[in-house]
Amino acid sequence: MSNTYAIVLAAGQGTRMKSDLYKVLHPVCGKPMVAHVIENISHLGANRIVTIVGHGAEKVEETLGNTSEYVLQQEQLGTAHAVQQAEKLIGDLDGTTIIVCGDTPLIRSTTMQKLIEHHKQSAAKATILTAYTEDPTGYGRIIRGENGQVLRNVEQKDATKEEQQVQEINTGTYCFDNRALFEALKKVRNDNAQGEYYLPDVLGILREEGALVTAYATEDFSETLGINDRVVLSEAERVMRLRIAESHMRNGVTIISPENTYISADAKIGRDTVLQPGSMIEGKTMIGSGCIIGPNSQITDSIIGDRTKVHSSVVIESKVGMDTTVGPFAHIRPESDLGNHVRIGNFVEVKKSTFGEGSKAAHLSYIGDANVGSNVNFGCGTIVVNYDGKKKHVTTVEDEAFIGCNANLVAPVEIGKGAYVAAGSTVTKNVPADSLAIGRARQENKDGYVSKLKLN
């Protein structure tokens, strides 16, 4: 079996994006577009992956890590010049090389594999990945002979009126015999208006030498989208979002409105979970089976247990147990850990706290920097006062404690097992187990006070 190599072109700045972020680092469904490309290539079992970097090289390398080797294109002198930079790493190796642009995150690994297989079966020196589109304006056209062989690739500006009617276009993804590629690259000239070295010129050079150049057409034109501006970025996001949704639905997830649901490329969702409209599942979130998410919930880099409901709420970088209810209108902030059978109700905010099994905070409470045991009840309006103006402090509430409505727990403080805090209390001292804490002014009624006030 011959070796397979991959070259990813990721050196361009992407001026049409009008952004401080380098083009290939713009995310599509939560992941940088070039990371999608590298991941898809990784499924091919390539012996080596070489990414050509230029603008933002350090950021690109930091993003991709050890998933690729890197070569710097110091001057952007065209696509052929970019590929030529990989010669010092793989130029003298035998095998097949696939070249993919770093701004084409929608090309599936299965399509890449079919391209490589077609290339090898045809015994070609070069194979072009093509696609058909009703509006080929701006694309290079693939001109075939009577028997279907590729005669040439014609750019839009050079095409005759007849050639401009051709709907098969060059996607910019190629397969080459590796040695033939780097030999031909040495013969590419830059005698064009831009003074650049273009990779498609390699095709003409190989044909002139009598080598076979073929093409493989993908059935899905959307795969070939190259992202050059925010408009195409939005279209790529739409296509991938629906593709991700379809994959989850085929694996047993119900998505009420795929067009109005966002799921990141790295999210995992269990079967029989229902995603309602407006749900945003971001980052590396893991959602269990039988859950109900939404409507209008945002879950980012979190773990959600089986049969849990997150209704119109936000969960960020936290863990939520099984059979738990969150919301509506709750906010679970980073580093929170909610146990099983927990209830976090409307307008409750939890921050960097553990909340034990069976505990409840039904409404209008703030719980920050707290360790809460099991079967604890927080009454409406309970506030964990965790900040003294300089430092955050921890509050501990042990199992089966009952915190009455409108109570303030001023940290650092401990509420013992089974203890009660009377409604309206401000607690500043530790409360022993099975004790009642009352920290409020004694009520005094002044008879006839209002009548006397009106007389004056």
- Find how far residue 357's CA is from the centre of its chain: 31
- Find how far residue 400's CA is from the centre of its chain: 40
Neighbours of 165 (CB within 10 A): 10
Return the closest-CA partner of residue 291 out of 304, 281, 279.
304
Question: What is the Cα–Cα distance from 115 to 215, expressed in whole angstroms?
Answer: 8
Please identify every residue annotated as catalytic: 363
Give me 441's structure tokens.
């002014």
Q: Is 351 annotated as a binding residue?
A: yes
Pairing mode, strands 168-177 and 96-101 = antiparallel
Q: Is 23 annotated as a binding residue?
A: yes
Q: Is 66 annotated as a binding residue?
A: no
Q: Is 370 annotated as a binding residue?
A: no
Q: Is 16 annotated as a binding residue?
A: no
Phi, psi values for residue 274, rounded to 5°: -115, 125
For residue 94, give the amino acid letter: D
Q: Is 9 annotated as a binding residue?
A: yes
Q: Is 387 annotated as a binding residue?
A: yes
Q: Is 79 annotated as a binding residue?
A: yes
Q: Is 184 annotated as a binding residue?
A: no
Of the CA atoms within 13 Å of residue 65, those in its CB half-sphere come to: 5
Q: Is 388 annotated as a binding residue?
A: no
Q: Which residues contact 360 (CB under 8 A, 6 or more apart)?
A: 342, 343, 344, 345, 376, 377, 378
Contacts 24+ apart (CB under 8 A), 401-406: 401/373, 401/376, 401/377, 402/376, 402/377, 403/376, 403/377, 403/378, 403/379, 404/379, 405/379, 405/380, 405/381, 406/379, 406/380, 406/381, 406/382
Give me 50's structure tokens.
């070489």
Q: Is 271 annotated as a binding residue?
A: no
Q: Is 155 annotated as a binding residue?
A: yes
Q: Is 333 annotated as a binding residue?
A: yes
Q: Is 181 annotated as a binding residue?
A: no
Q: Is 219 annotated as a binding residue?
A: no
Return the closest-CA partner of residue 34 out of 193, 307, 236.
236
For residues 91 and 177, is the Cβ–Cβ distance under 8 A? no
Q: Is 366 annotated as a binding residue?
A: yes
Pairing mode, strands 331-332 and 319-320 = unpaired
Which residues are known binding-site members?
9-12, 23, 73, 78-79, 103, 140, 155, 170, 228, 333, 351, 366, 377, 386-387, 423, 440
Residues in the annotated binding site for Mg(2+): 103, 228
Binding-site residues for acetyl-CoA, please? 386-387, 423, 440
Residue list, annotated binding site for UDP-N-acetyl-alpha-D-glucosamine: 9-12, 23, 73, 78-79, 140, 155, 170, 228, 333, 351, 366, 377
